[in-house]
Amino acid sequence: MTEEHGAPSGASEALRPKTRMRNRDLPAATVHRLARYLPVLAEFAERGPAIVASEELAVAAGVSSATLRKDLSFLGANGVRGVGYDVTRLRRRVEDVLGLSDGHRFILVGAANLGRTLVEASGFRQRGFALVGIFDDDPTVVGQRVAGWVVRDVAEVPDIVPRLAPTIAVLALPDDLAQAACDELVAADVQCILSFCGIALKVPPAVEVRRVDLAMEMQLLSFAGARPADTAAAAVGAWNPVAARQRSVVSQ
Amino acid sequence: MTEEHGAPSGASEALRPKTRMRNRDLPAATVHRLARYLPVLAEFAERGPAIVASEELAVAAGVSSATLRKDLSFLGANGVRGVGYDVTRLRRRVEDVLGLSDGHRFILVGAANLGRTLVEASGFRQRGFALVGIFDDDPTVVGQRVAGWVVRDVAEVPDIVPRLAPTIAVLALPDDLAQAACDELVAADVQCILSFCGIALKVPPAVEVRRVDLAMEMQLLSFAGARPADTAAAAVGAWNPVAARQRSVVSQ
DNA sequence: GTCTGTGAAGGGCTTCACAGCT
DNA sequence: AGCTGTGAAGCCCTTCACAGAC
């Protein structure tokens, strides 16, 4: 959201007052968009020409070409003036910057419907994220096999997680259990948490949390839907292939 | 952002150049946060005192009190100087502004695991969103009963959706089917779409799209995790209850 | 001529700090 | 004295427009 920021945040969102995103010196908004460029680059790598202009990439990603060029310029010179960008080279560069080159190990905490579906359906593996363990609080779920892993009890987090050494934890527990589990994860030295809870988790400053709140997304849409018909935009009429006005959770 | 920060992510994200969010004159960033204040207000309404100060609300929501006060000031005077905010009154006001007071009808397009889980597990109903129909592209799923509804074929969208008159569609189809279904929804006059696809949907300017891309969220975390240990933040050490640095999809 | 890379301009959002009400 | 509401300052980011490389 985005996050968004921008999308936003957004998804881009509120709380880190001004620190950017701590790596190098990339604007947070740029980091968000870099992640959005990746699937577009993958698409071009498969079907498109080897060299592509900023305008084409920008349209496909739904941003302006000026924004895209400036984003990429933060990573150094990646294109050739008068020509364009080498798709595969650029793709590698973006993956590098986002820290995706080394692969990532993650655990799932909360193996009920939501958590189970998330890890099974979201193409994590195909994007280089390896599931290395599953935990749950519910005794009827603990011991079951999910996505190839035996579900362990959350109480075992302190013993097991340090050995698994995941860089990311996906947290999909009910709201009232989330903070306690989060504390365990933090104590076990997990640095990044992707949370699907409805509450804001309290964490030390060194831990990065991203929250995906689906009901909140609906509420934001609700606001857009309640708008007064926006005659100006409607007058523009037909089809805008630039896909203006899309947001990422965290913004579309 | 998400997010948004944005992107939000959030979101708060990229594409609408400067139009704000079209309703009244609220900054997009403020709308995002208003949605985040709601669960906090609900919590206070149940357990807290009837009157609460901006600082308390801000800490619970993970923003600065100045930001919260300015956000609320966009809605007019909602508090009492020297005293604080009336929780239930404020809550109603925020729900009003977000267009949540009337209730919303939504349809699900894509009834495979992900879509099914989303509508069942995300507390939509308890937040005032009523599911009024389900569609899918897969012949083996069409005709099945999901969440109390018989799944209809996506081809029937043009016939059925106008009668259902949903304000929102939740789109959880595979990427390669998403754009076609999206076009049908737009033709059927759906104004708001919550998309779980990996691609950016092309829509006319009058249609609002929010995208939740779970793998992208992981990638953003990956960037945060790759940071150079951030000694400054680590030195701060212990526990920051202000929960600094959380993001919403779109940003946490 | 084409398209990238980038200083500069402009705008939106956050933060500050305080005036004003209770 | 306490806390809200808000101008003003400052920051970050997007957009513009063009210089520079091919």
CB contact under 8 A, A8 and B241: no
Res. B96: pLDDT tops 60? yes
SS3 assignment, position B202: coil
CA distances from A124 to A22, A63, A131, A157, B216 (A): 24, 25, 8, 22, 9
Nucleotide whose C1' lies closest to the alpha carbon of residue A16: C14
Res. A223: pLDDT tops 80? yes
Tally C-beta pairs within 8 A across A and B: 671
Q: Write down the pLDDT at residue A75.
A: 95
Structure tokens at B246: 């959380």
Label residue B24 by pLDDT band (50, 70, 90): low
- Judge if the beta carbon of B16 is closer than 7 A to nucleic acid strand D: no
Residue of A62, A64, A58 lying closest to A90 (CA atoms): A58
CA distances from A64 to A67, A167, A237, A242, B55 (A): 5, 33, 20, 9, 38
Nucleotide whose C1' lies closest to the alpha carbon of residue A85: C4
pLDDT tens for B25-76 read: 899 999 999 999 999 999 999 988 999 999 999 999 999 999 999 999 999 9
- Judge if the beta carbon of B84 is closer than 7 A to nucleic acid strand D: yes
CA distance linking residue B171 with residue B107, whole number of Å: 9
CB contact under 8 A, A251 and B198: no
CB contact under 8 A, A8 and B23: no
Chain mean pLDDT for chain B: 81
Amino acid at the residue A232: A
- Judge if the beta carbon of A105 is closer than 7 A to nucleic acid strand D: no
CA distance linking residue A21 with residue B220, whole number of Å: 10
| Angle at CA of residue A208, ends B71 and B68, nearest 5° | 10
> Which has the higher per-residue pLDDT, B239 or B229?
B229
Length of chain B: 252
Q: Which nucleotides of C are covered by protein (CB under 7 A)?
A: 1-7, 11-17, 19-22
In chain B, the N- to C-terminal Cα span, in Å, equals 7
- Interchain contact A130–B (C-beta under 8 A): no
Q: Write down the pLDDT at residue B89.
A: 96
Q: Write down the pLDDT at residue A191.
A: 92
Label residue A131 by pLDDT band (50, 70, 90): very high
Which residues 1-40 of A are in CB contact (within 8 Å) with B? 1-17, 19, 21-23, 28-29, 31-33, 35-36, 38-40
Label residue A9 by pLDDT band (50, 70, 90): very low
| SS3 labels along A182-203 | HHHHHHCCCCEEEECCCCCCCC
Full-model pTM: 0.82
- Interchain contact A47–B (C-beta under 8 A): no
User: Which residue has the closest alpha carbon to C2 C1'?
Assistant: A82
Res. B231: pLDDT tops 60? no
Is the distance from CB of A182 to CB of A203 less than 8 angstroms? yes
Residue of B124, B119, B76, B120 lying closest to B97 (CA atoms): B76
Identify any residues that bridge with A119 across adjacent strands, giving them in sequence order.
none
Outline where DSSP puts E strands in A87-197: 104-109, 129-136, 145-146, 149-150, 152-153, 168-171, 192-195
Nearest-CA residue of chain B relative to A238?
B204
Q: Write down the pLDDT at residue A24.
A: 60
Q: Write down the pLDDT at residue B23.
A: 55
CA distance linking residue A93 with residue A213, whole number of Å: 31
- Judge if the beta carbon of A67 is closer than 7 A to nucleic acid strand D: yes
Angle between helix B28-47 and A214-225 (nearest 10): 120
Is the distance from CB of B29 to CB of B13 less than 8 angstroms? no
CA distance linking residue B33 with residue A220, whole number of Å: 10
pLDDT tens for B185-228 read: 999 999 999 999 888 888 888 888 999 988 889 999 888 876 54
> Which has the higher per-residue pLDDT, B141 or B10?
B141
Res. B238: pLDDT tops 50? no
Q: Write down the pLDDT at residue B21.
A: 46
Nucleotide whose C1' lies closest to the alpha carbon of residue A66: D15
Tell me which residue in B12, B106, B219 faces A7 most closely, judged by beta carbons.
B12
Chain mean pLDDT for chain A: 82
| Angle at CA of residue A136, ends A131 and A138, nearest 5° | 155
Read off the DSSP letter of residue A127.
G
Q: Which residues of A touch B41 (CB under 8 A)?
A: none
Nucleotide whose C1' lies closest to the alpha carbon of residue B30: C13
Which residues 209-248 of B are in CB contact (within 8 Å) with A? 209-228, 230, 233-234, 236-248
Is the distance from CB of B107 to CB of B161 less than 8 angstroms? yes
The whole-number average pLDDT for the span A108-135 is 89
Which residues 152-211 of B are in CB contact (within 8 Å) with A? 167-168, 170, 191-195, 198-206, 208-211
A247 membership: H or E segment, kind and range: strand A246-248
- Interchain contact B251–A (C-beta under 8 A): yes
How many Å from the CA of B85 to C1' of C19? 20
Q: Is the dihedral of CA B9, B10, B11, B13 positive or negative?
A: negative
How many Å from the CA of B57 to C1' of C10? 34
Q: Write down the pLDDT at residue A113.
A: 87
Is the distance from CB of B61 to CB of A200 less than 8 angstroms? yes
- Interchain contact B53–A (C-beta under 8 A): no
